[in-house]
Structure 1
């Protein structure tokens, strides 16, 4: 399946999930610090009608502070009732907005992580197709887009997904199920009680003690993306999940 088709399907799945939640479930804290399940749902709609020119403008006006920009957009979208959020997810499920020159991989990664951000605290499990998790794993460990602010989080660590056999890097090991591993390297503290390995203490420390880079450092990340060759394969309408060892 093409990565773009995976994104469309994930947006519809999120809408299906949200449509069946109670008001109490929507108020439940998600795995995103400070965000309720309702806020995460709202965040999923924030870029659906965005053009790339608006993203460039946001990079300039916020000094590439994606955290601040996402917070601003999400607060605005979260004022909407859940019925309108669900309707927007369905109506704009085929949106092709991407981070400039980054392709569809980061979009799918974002939707998958936020799906888990909502499902885990609600204890609503699902069987996420392995090929979709593979896209997210490759993206976060290979060349994550600037919005993920990974920095050197994974430097000198080896990641091992116990249920898929995927590995990355060398050094002290952090291991666990692929979904949990993605949440850990994606910066969700919940995951650290569900992973193990001698590298876990270091990963936990890097995530919990992350410092916000200065403006110049934030600006350099998108500039490096803009200066690099476009990921033609990842933008291709025919691009599917990457192969992993």
Structure 2
């Protein structure tokens, strides 16, 4: 599935706008609810989603040095400190003001930016029972992944092929076919849900 750069950019903007709209209606209890990211509540996930809009390359490097060059440790510290420092309204406002921000993760490009927003959006919407991104947008994220992403998330699909029932996408190869929604596939391949 090849996608033009303009299509990816418009999907990034649409996903950020969708998330800002959902987040603006959350109750204080929902902001403190556990997310799919181990140890993070909704507020830490949203703080992490906004990290690219708040940080500069030198700040990232300094944070990585302090975290012993562990990006996960650095991201965790950043999310927790930002969630303590910023109110819910400030986090939503930061996201809303950066809907069209041009951030692209190193080596990930536009597909990586869309993946970041969609996956972390699911980290919040799934436990809260809120709507997820549209299946076609999730399929774009799945199409940009590959064996490297499966390895990163520690997922083994040996012998299995996951086929979406709501979009034209499949992941993995093998004789065992498992049919599920695109959202369910993304939750599985990112280690959020067991197969």
TM-score interval, smaller chain: 0.7 to 0.9
Structure 1: 4+ residue segments shifted above 6 A: none
1:44 corresponds to 2:81: no
Task: Give the deviation of 1:181 after TM superposition.
Answer: 1.1
- Could you say which structure has the higher helix fraction? 2
For 1:156 and 1:58, the matched residues in 2 are separated by: 40
Distance in 1 between residues matched to 2:66 and 2:145, nearest whole Å? 26
Q: Is the alpha carbon distance of 1:52 and 1:39 closer, same or farther for their aligned partners in structure 2, counting shifts above 3 Å?
A: same
Please give the secondary structure, in 2, of the residue aligned with 1:48: helix
1:179 is aligned to 183
Q: Distance in 1 between matches of 2:128 and 2:188?
A: 18
Tell me, yes or no, if the aligned pair for 1:52 and 1:98 is still in contact at 8 Å. no
Aligned-pair Cα RMSD in Å: 2.6
SS of 2:153's equivalent? coil
| Partners of 2:8 and 2:62 in 1: CA distance | 27
Provide TM-score, normalisation by structure 2: 0.82
Q: Which of the residues 29, 32, 53 maps onto 1:27? A: 32
Scaled by the length of structure 1, the TM-score of the pair is 0.67
Partner SS state of residue 160, structure 1: strand
1:110 aligns with 2:116: yes
**Runs of 5+ unmatched residues, structure 1:** 193-199, 201-245
Instruction: Work out whether residues 16 and 117 of structure 2, in 8 Å CA contact, stay in contact via their aligned partners in 1.
Output: yes
Q: Where do 5+ consecutive residues of structure 2 fail to align? A: 1-5
Which residue does 1:218 correspond to in 2? none
Higher RCO (C-alpha under 8 Å, 6+ residues apart):
1
